[in-house]
Chain A
Amino acid sequence: MARIIVVTSGKGGVGKTTTSAAISMGLAKKGHKTVVIDFDVGLRNLDLIMGCERRVVYDIINVINGEATLNQALIKDKNCNLLSILPASQTRNKDALTQEGVGKILEELGKEFKYIVCDSPAGIEQGAHLAMYFADDAFIVTNPEVSSVRDSDRILGLLASKSRRAEQNEEPIKEYLLLSRYSPERVKSGEMLSLDDVQEILSLHLLGVIPESKSVLLASNSGIPVILDDKSDAGQAYADIVARYLGENKPHRFIDDKTGFFRKLFGGK
């Protein structure tokens, strides 16, 4: 049975697509056949982050409408042959994404893939709803910032009430926290909500903390998921997250401020 993971947050710009690209690549690199689906109809960007934007021919709406087969629409990743990408449609109206259509696609993908990663759009409209509806696991991407934490809490409410598992009284979706753009230095100086602050409100199972990192922008510039940059802190954070999700025991990193006393004293960066 395939495991369906939704990467969601409510708020935009917190790192959903970065995370979807990184964890799907991470799962595939660990030897699991994985597909990542962009649910942001009208504003697709996963293709760009994965570096396959020029190879998009058909998209998810084409498949739902029967204009292309799934195999025609799936793009094989150039870095890892166990990973495929199903792009969102760029031009059509977003009502074309139907629950029945998405259900069929997921069922068919489930026969071939071990993990199905659904990259949710921001907001709580149809695309976001369908990205989470069929999920088994939810990766809640949250920034240590008031509006992001509030929206994450709202999404948790929706996962618990508006999902297939909730509607059919099955075991609830497993919810995991991915705290991204974290800056231990700013937390220490009282400028940023700490991991503990966020957890006091959301109390989720922590999958990992992703530090604020220059490497994320560099990775998106070149269309290579940041997890492949194994020298970068964000890349390592995502690798840890994938390992923890798969049941490996990895101690948490990037939570505490490593800046030394003397650097602080002289205001160095």
Chain B
Amino acid sequence: MSLLDYFRSSKTSSASLAKERLQILVAYERSSSSQPSYLPQLQKELLLVIQRYVDVSQDAMTINLEQNDNQETLELNIVLSERRRN
């Protein structure tokens, strides 16, 4: 590392970018690996059924399975678009 680098290095560090990317990715992968494998397929099929009646986009739906001590909750979140609601 030369004198010039010494003053330059603090601006943007690629290591902090790496850490940020990793944190997001690992958090996502941890949550998806703990869910049952049928969940993506279930989401796809539910979306198809809903789309027959309402116009919803692919990313307007989130599905989540939560496990507590004595119960499981399947949470389905669908955001309907403003203009299509009447």
Which A residues are within 8 Å of any B CB, using their own CB? 145-146, 149-150, 153-154, 157, 185, 187, 189-194, 197, 200-201, 264-267
Contact = CB atoms under 8 A, between A and B. Distances in A.
A233 to B, nearest CB: 20
A265 B10 contact: no
B1 A264 contact: yes
B67 interface: no
A197 B29 contact: no
Interface in B1-19: 1-3, 5-6, 9-10, 12-16, 18-19
Given A153-B26, A157-B30, A201-B26, A193 B18 contact: yes
Chain A's interface: helix, strand, loop or mixed, by majority? helix
B9 A189 contact: yes
A192 B5 CA distance: 15
A150 B1 contact: no
Contact of B15 (A150, A157, A197): A197
Interface string B1-45: 111011001101111101101110110011001000000000000
Contacts of B5: 189
Interface of B: prevailing SS: helix
Interface of B: 1-3, 5-6, 9-10, 12-16, 18-19, 21-23, 25-26, 29-30, 33
A190 B5 CA distance: 11
B22 A185 contact: no
Given A201-B23, A265-B6, A194 B1 contact: no
A193 B33 CA distance: 25
Given A191-B14, A264-B1, A267-B2, 11 more contacts: A145-B18, A157-B30, A187-B15, A189-B5, A189-B9, A190-B9, A192-B15, A197-B18, A201-B19, A201-B22, A264-B6
B17 to A, nearest CB: 10
B3 A150 contact: no
A197 B19 contact: yes
Contacts of A145: 18
Contact of B21 (A146, A191, A264, A267): A146
Contacts of B19: 193, 197, 200-201
A264 B22 CA distance: 30
B28 to A, nearest CB: 11
B23 A200 contact: yes
Contacts of B25: 150
Contacts of A201: 19, 22-23, 26
A146 B33 contact: no
Nearest to B14: A191
B25 to A, nearest CB: 6
- List the 8 closest A-B pairs by CB distance, nearest first: A190-B13, A267-B2, A197-B19, A189-B9, A190-B15, A153-B26, A146-B18, A193-B15
